[in-house]
Structure 1
């Protein structure tokens, strides 16, 4: 459920004071549109520089996603912004992030952002997931598994699992942001997730598959049956998401997941 967006000026004085204890007096605050699950998302300017502020009320169901971000941040590769401080004050949970001045990635065919996105994901692919209690891939998707099950999703890689273009900022390089769903599993799962987003941006299933094979060793080496099991489970997951909250983009993602599954079933097993 989306969180009603607050502005910096809407926060209680004690909450603003708790933030300013870390960054100094806020001279300017700009609310950003991205991050529908954030109660507040703003760039704050102070004499000490700028930070990105992200937060939710402590009693909101999405609080667990923010706490996962806090938990995983120290282990992230350099493609992701660092958490500078974390405070709780008067019913709010607030994170101050290193600010990255960039734009959301363009995933359309031929986009010059695609090599940058691939480089960021490859860096992540080489990052082993710490054993700190985050969700296991085989557990996360088992509810949606078909008869084959999802045991083949197990692995030791750190996965982002939500590589939508609004979760990638392009500046000097591509930066992976919004770590609400970190997962431990097989490294090829993130390329599988990215493929659906490429299709959303206009790539055909075959072109997205070929691009991923050229970019990610893990995807080229992924067992056919394992990808099949994940693709089926992920399709069921998107169906449920679209049924529970039928926003047009969610219904479109469910459709794309079905298109991908059809393509994969027609592909030769390898």
Structure 2
């Protein structure tokens, strides 16, 4: 997606934004993010605001509308999410202004102090967002049904599967079918846990970009942290231990069978996306997911 600069936005749109935040002195693009046609830190005399959005004709406009809906509900509910400040919809664009969150992207490597801090933050969020404070949010199981990977890989990429995947293919497809039932739940889950969405500042952890949030069981976000940790060098058993005491993982729905089915589905989904949309940024996640499900099946 081609990212527009501040100067490239329609004049009337820029004036509408400045009516909310004050005259813009300087615009600075973010170091990450792929889902916004415009994204920038806008520096004004009164401070800095992070603004992002898309034209109304973009397919991802519904994603931005969803994030706005979620953040409007989270504004006073949790500290870990950035506050939504205002929304501008004019000149065929949708832009939202969010508070600027200080910090650096989380470090998931072994020994990093960020890891226990992130696990603790996800634990608090799981408890605070159960049940979901945002009504009408689509269930996570619908998204996972749409992106289920193993039957797609069997039908479209069978020659690319390795010996281990072929040996376990029937079981992996079964887990894809099973995960729809184990993802039932009324908690709001972020659903896209990775380093770029977690900002650490001292002892504070903030979770940004709620565009893919859905409702599901409260252990999902903690579980999504596990393959990310493995991908950064943690052993699977160690990664599981680091999140085992989170509130979500202590929930009654976080059974061993449920976590195993989820691990299999995550690997299939990410493997499929890596085949359909190859990118270097997927490699560590796919590797971590593969090692996680192999560990769980070898330990069962």
Could you tell me the TM-score, scaled by structure 1's length?
Answer: 0.92
Deviation string 1:35-80 (CA, Å, 9 cap, x unpaired) is 1112122111112221111111221122121111101113332101
Cα distance in 2 for partners of 1:241, 1:102 equals 29
Which runs of 5 or more residues in structure 1 are unaligned? none
Deviation string 1:197-236 (CA, Å, 9 cap, x unpaired) is 111222121110111114x143245111111222222222
Q: Is contact 2:191-2:224 (8 Å) kept?
A: yes
- Counterpart of 2:125 in structure 1 is 124
2:256 to 224, 243, 246: 224
Tell me the SS of whatever aligns to 2:244.
helix
Cα distance in 2 for partners of 1:101, 1:217 equals 26
- Counterpart of 2:113 in structure 1 is 112
Equivalent pairs, count: 265
Determine if the alignment matches structure 1 residue 267 to structure 2 residue 268. no
- Counterpart of 1:168 in structure 2 is 198
Cα distance in 1 for partners of 2:95, 2:257 equals 42
Determine if the alignment matches structure 1 residue 183 to structure 2 residue 191. no
Structure 1 position 18, deviation (Å): 0.8
Structure 1 position 267, deviation (Å): 2.3
Cα distance in 2 for partners of 1:217, 1:95 equals 32
- Counterpart of 1:213 in structure 2 is 244
Tell me the SS of whatever aligns to 1:218.
coil
Cα distance in 2 for partners of 1:133, 1:170 equals 30
Determine if the alignment matches structure 1 residue 256 to structure 2 residue 300. no
2:227 to 178, 196, 215: 196
Structure 1 position 149, deviation (Å): 4.5
Q: Is contact 1:8-1:31 (8 Å) kept?
A: no
Cα distance in 2 for partners of 1:38, 1:81 equals 17
Cα distance in 1 for partners of 2:239, 2:284 equals 17
Structure 1 position 253, deviation (Å): 2.4
Cα distance in 2 for partners of 1:261, 1:85 equals 42
- Counterpart of 1:137 in structure 2 is 140
2:35 to 34, 37, 44: 37
Cα distance in 2 for partners of 1:47, 1:254 equals 44
Query: What is the 5 A alignment of 1:60-99?
Result: 60-76=58-74, 77-99=78-100
CA RMSD of aligned residues (A): 1.7
Higher relative contact order (Cα pairs below 8 Å, separated by 6+ residues): 2
Identify which range, 145-154 or 234-243, moves more after superposition: 145-154
Which runs of 5 or more residues in structure 2 are unaligned? 149-174
Q: Is contact 1:69-1:180 (8 Å) kept?
A: yes
- Counterpart of 1:155 in structure 2 is 185
Cα distance in 1 for partners of 2:284, 2:70 equals 30
Cα distance in 1 for partners of 2:138, 2:263 equals 18
Cα distance in 2 for partners of 1:231, 1:199 equals 12
Cα distance in 2 for partners of 1:52, 1:218 equals 30
Tell me the SS of whatever aligns to 1:262.
helix
Query: What is the 5 A alignment of 1:7-22?
Result: 7-22=5-20
